[in-house]
Structure 1
Amino acid sequence: MRGATLSNYAEVAGQVGLDAAGMLKRFGIDRRVLVDQDARIVAEGVVDLLEASALESGCETFGLRMAESRRLSDFGAVSLLITHQATMRDALMSVVAYRQLVNPALVVEVEEHDDIVVVREELLLTGHGTMRQSYELAIGVLYRMFRTVLGPRWRALSANFAHAPPADLTVHRRLFGPICEFNSDFHGLTCGRADLDAPNPSADPNLALLAERYLRSLPATEERPLSQDVQKTLYLMLPIGGAAIGRVAANLGLNERTLQRRLAAEGADFAGLLNGIRRELAVRYVANAALPLSRAADLLGYARQSSFSRWFAEEFGQSATAWRQSGAGRKADFLNL
């Protein structure tokens, strides 16, 4: 990901009594990224840095505090295109289309249900528990992008977090107002469909065209393995019942046989990738004590809870109920630091 991900990290670290340079060094991150927004950083290092910063400072809202002062320019070259798109929908699709230039580890998915739009965010990293700080940073930045395009009076219908609420909601209320929903099925925002199609008062079609041409002229990023695209698709489609191989292949513009053949050439297979994503999401859902296990089963693609229970016991060595009661999810988050 880009160095801009850590914009104002030093400022927030100083506010909560941390040595920013020392923390960066501990996680193998060159402190020059604080002034070079286009420097490349390993995503896993950033996730671990933010979680450790929150833990050691005792500040549960560390990531959200970073989001509070973010600017659209932190999106880099894509920011000019976002600024001058005709509608919020077009601006959001720019982020989706050029995510490799913004944050390759973060996927944004837009789902429309009648008059309600769900904007989901997923971090494509494995073995990092809830990644609470990174998700709060991402959702806060997304919210600020909406308000930059639609104006400071715009409000989402809800800001959704899959984790539990912090002890103190002051920062959340300061940024989002009274719309935060915790222990949710997903990370992201909901808004009205009309918000996406509202005209952008700052739009300039000529500048948008120039920005698009510039972005297309940039050197292509390193081609990703197909397995990564399959994982991204599974993260997004599994919770909404769309993880069948045929639907995943169609989403990627392939037929099933081509998908299987190309995965095999990479030493991967669809069933293994699906099970890996299911395990990652199971840790999130089952660790959430406010989420009924029947709902967790549904989000993981099981029509019957009994099938989910058998799978979970085989994968984790105990029932989902026993795993939840043991606090294994919270222990996993701690060990990831």
Structure 2
Amino acid sequence: MTDLIRSACLTSYPEIARSVGLDPLRMLKEAGIDRRFLESPDVKVSAAALRRLLENSARVAKVEDFGLRLAETRTLSVLGPIGLLVREEATVRDAVTSLMRYIPLHNESLHMRLEERDGTTVMITEIRVPRPVPLRQGTELTVGVLYRVVQSLIGPHWKPLVCFSHAAGRRRETYHRLFGDKVEFGHDFNGIVCPTRDLDRAIPTADPALARYVRQHLDSLLARPNVGTSDKVRELVSLQLGTGCCTVELVAGQLNLNRRMLHRRLAEEDQTFSGIVEAVRAEVVSRALLNPERKLSTLADMAGFSSLSAFSRWFRDRFDTTPTAWRRDAQAH
């Protein structure tokens, strides 16, 4: 099964790409990532496609620190609800523990763990891939984001040891600008080393009530059963139906599959792409129609139709009534 990642990972990519002489839209296309994802941070894209994008960008631009340049622009907001929870936890340890617990909801291929011994803590990041592929850019982006997240909680004076398993690049200006002088290469892990006492610091702005609410929401997402192809297709369709461009080719590409392979995997689960689209569309429409303030033209857009007339024909075929009559009957009950 292809790992997915929130398209928020593309935040600031166009700006960084242009700054090193690249055409960001061309690079996205070559990596198999739809340009519309730049405007939708919660849409899921293939983690493999993102890795391709980062490595290709660094290679074409001849910029070894491309991933780090992206990391320099990252804030907690890029993590969505996970970032909100991290900000509202009581201590830095609680924040880091929550980040590591819930990070698969943001990036399914990323795993993090905490190791503590003799007053020293090691925060380790690992990008898991099915076969050996270049990971330098993704690794440096991941460690850079982790560093910036923890530093935002402790303060700009926090300067831990940053470790990478790959060799040092020819130029180290960006490493020193982001991490300071404490950067080492050739280790057997990628991550951050700091005194354990750093994690025991309280976060003055913490809101325990808000943290508890967000944690319950994230726990409900983690508690979902093993996700199959049809579940991932349903999620992608739900996020993109309103664009009017939610095609089987687009969704297959996001899952790093071709059209035929996607159809075959859905058939193994007794599902079809058109059936999933119809089911999601019916759910969206049935829910939205309950709001009497919502215009039917807006509802048609949400359901992925190019015109109100096309939506009305579909609705009558499926529900044997008109949207207006359905809404009236629903309100009467």
Is the contact between residue 81 and residue 91 of structure 1 (CA under 8 Å) also seen in structure 2? yes
Is the contact between residue 106 and residue 121 of structure 1 (CA under 8 Å) also seen in structure 2? yes
Rounded to whole Å, the distance in 2 between the matches of 1:97 and 1:121 is 12
Residue 178 (str. 1) matches residue 181 (str. 2): yes
Q: What is the Cα deviation at residue 176 of structure 1?
A: 0.1
Q: What is the match of residue 193 of structure 1?
A: 196
Equivalent residue for 2:212, pick from 188, 209, 214:
209
Rounded to whole Å, the distance in 2 between the matches of 1:201 and 1:219 is 28
Q: What is the Cα deviation at residue 219 of structure 1?
A: 8.1
SS in 2 for 1:107: strand
Rounded to whole Å, the distance in 2 between the matches of 1:182 and 1:130 is 16
Is the contact between residue 83 and residue 91 of structure 1 (CA under 8 Å) also seen in structure 2? yes
Rounded to whole Å, the distance in 1 between the matches of 2:13 and 2:225 is 28
Q: What is the match of residue 284 of structure 2?
A: none
Where in structure 2 are the equivalents of 1:1-337 lying within 5 Å?
1-156=5-160, 158-218=161-221, 223=226
Q: What is the Cα deviation at residue 218 of structure 1?
A: 4.5
Superposition misfits of 4+ residues, deviation over 4 angstroms: 217-222
Closer/same/farther in 2, CA of residues 139 and 219 from structure 1, 3 Å limit: closer
Rounded to whole Å, the distance in 1 between the matches of 2:222 and 2:99 is 18
Rounded to whole Å, the distance in 2 between the matches of 1:71 and 1:110 is 21
Is the contact between residue 130 and residue 163 of structure 1 (CA under 8 Å) also seen in structure 2? no
Rounded to whole Å, the distance in 2 between the matches of 1:106 and 1:38 is 17
Rounded to whole Å, the distance in 2 between the matches of 1:119 and 1:191 is 8
Q: What is the Cα deviation at residue 28 of structure 1?
A: 0.9
Q: Flag structure 1 segments of 5+ consecutive residues without an equivalent.
A: 226-337
Rounded to whole Å, the distance in 1 between the matches of 2:11 and 2:223 is 25
Q: What is the Cα deviation at residue 130 of structure 1?
A: 4.2
Rounded to whole Å, the distance in 2 between the matches of 1:218 and 1:167 is 43
Q: What is the Cα deviation at residue 34 of structure 1?
A: 1.4
Q: What is the match of residue 274 of structure 1?
A: none
Q: What is the Cα deviation at residue 100 of structure 1?
A: 2.3
Is the contact between residue 162 and residue 182 of structure 1 (CA under 8 Å) also seen in structure 2? yes
Size of the aligned set, in residue pairs, is 224
| 28-37 vs 159-168, greater mean Cα deviation | 28-37
Q: What is the match of residue 258 of structure 1?
A: none
Q: What is the Cα deviation at residue 80 of structure 1?
A: 1.2
Per-residue CA deviation, residues 93-126 of structure 1 (Å, 9 max, x unaligned), is: 1112212212111000100011110111100113
Q: What is the Cα deviation at residue 135 of structure 1?
A: 0.2
TM-score normalised to structure 2 length: 0.65
SS in 2 for 1:98: helix
Specify the code of the residue in structure 1 equivalent to 2:56: A
Rounded to whole Å, the distance in 1 between the matches of 2:94 and 2:214 is 13
SS in 2 for 1:86: coil
Closer/same/farther in 2, CA of residues 48 and 221 from structure 1, 3 Å limit: farther
| 205-214 vs 34-43, greater mean Cα deviation | 205-214
SS in 1 for 2:45: coil
Q: What is the Cα deviation at residue 128 of structure 1?
A: 3.7
SS in 2 for 1:200: coil
Q: Flag structure 2 segments of 5+ consecutive residues without an equivalent.
A: 229-333
Q: What is the Cα deviation at residue 221 of structure 1?
A: 5.0
Is the contact between residue 149 and residue 202 of structure 1 (CA under 8 Å) also seen in structure 2? no
Rounded to whole Å, the distance in 2 between the matches of 1:219 and 1:139 is 23
Rounded to whole Å, the distance in 1 between the matches of 2:216 and 2:222 is 12
RMSD value over aligned CA atoms? Answer: 1.6
TM-score normalised to structure 1 length: 0.64
